[in-house]
Amino acid sequence: MRLDKYICSCGSISRRDVKKLIKQGLVTVNGTVCKKADEQIAEDSVVAVGRESLVYRKYVYFMLNKPSGYVSAVYDKKYPVVTELVGEAYAHFEVFPVGRLDIDTEGLLMLTNDGVFTHEMTSPRKNVYKRYFAVLDKPMEEHDIAEFAKGMEFKDFIAKSAKLEITDNPREVYIEIAEGKFHQVKRMCERVGKTVIYLKRVAVGGVFLDAGLSPGEFREMTEDELCILGYKSENIR
């Protein structure tokens, strides 16, 4: 692997800065200064910038507070995409969204470059629940709880049993679903005669959206959070 790519993969130094540091003779590989950005080095090399040794990693896992107006994709002809919200320093990781939120939905969206992780989180067979906060046009009623709990049959899929919690304001609810089908929450609410007017994902499989993240902000997920999601991989950091 190229030396500059290796250093970029260790953390938040942009490719441009990496090139400068290498040119300035501040980078060592196995104890020897290396001034060639395109030097091929082994993944197990000991690379340091100044006195700081770097730890190479292949995969990254981000938690994003998705703002409304962004498409959950890496490219769109018309609208901005969520991957644009990840800073330049991380661009080389080429992350993609873990599943999808509608363009007008806000909240917890994970981004990664790890395809296995994405599969584990999105496969309906894995039953990773997703929790949403929704504001409706009309109040939910107690009997709707049973409708959600029964599961619902749609022409393209069967929604498993879902949990509906009505707050003190019955137009504001929490809904937990096991899948993540297209417009699933909106369609389940329509089935009981209510229209979703605001939707935010607040948790995925026991990991809650960090309240410190404003819409559009992201941070790396912690090992504890990845562990809560049951994702054990030797690739994590």
**Residues known to be catalytic:** 102
Shortest distance in whole angstroms from residue 119 CB to ligand URA? 19
Residue 128 interacts with ligand URA (CB under 6 A)?
no
Contact set for ligand URA, span 89-118 (CB under 6 A): 101-102, 105
Pairing state of beta strands 207-208 and 196-204?
antiparallel
d(CA 38, CA 6): 10
Least Å distance, CB 183 to ligand URA, is 4
As measured in angstroms, the least distance from the Cβ of 176 to ligand URA is 11
By CB under 6 A, the count of residues binding ligand URA is 8
**Closest to ligand URA by CB, 9 or 184:** 184
Q: Which amino acid is at 220?
A: E
Nearer to ligand URA, 84 or 102 (CB): 102
| CA–CA dist 80, 75 (Å, integer) | 8
Stretch touching ligand URA by CB under 6 A, among 90-98, 146-154, 177-185, 227-235: 177-185
Shortest distance in whole angstroms from residue 201 CB to ligand URA:
6
- Residue 201's contacts (CB-CB under 8 Å, 6 or more residues apart) are 66, 101, 105, 106, 107, 108, 109, 130, 131, 132, 209
Residue 16's Cβ-count burial label (10 Å; 0-12, 13-18, 19+) is exposed
> What's the token pair of residue 146?
């049973």
- 183 binding ligand URA? (CB under 6 A): yes
> Does 122 sit near ligand URA (CB under 6 A)?
no
d(CA 188, CA 146): 12
Q: Could you give the CA distance from residue 109 to residue 59 in angstroms, rounded to a whole number?
A: 17
Q: What does the per-residue mask of binding to ligand URA show for 184-213, with x meaning CB under 6 A?
A: xxx------------x--------------
What would the two tokens of residue 200 be? Answer: 């935010």
Cβ nearer to ligand URA, comparing 27 with 199 = 199
- Give me the 22-61 binding string for ligand URA, x by CB under 6 A, dash otherwise: ----------------------------------------
Q: Using CA atoms, how far apart are residues 138 and 132, in angstroms rounded to an integer?
A: 17
Q: Token pair 């960090």 is at which residue? A: 210
Q: How far is the CB of 222 from ligand URA (least distance, A)?
A: 24
Q: Which residues bind ligand URA (CB under 6 A)?
A: 101-102, 105, 183-186, 199
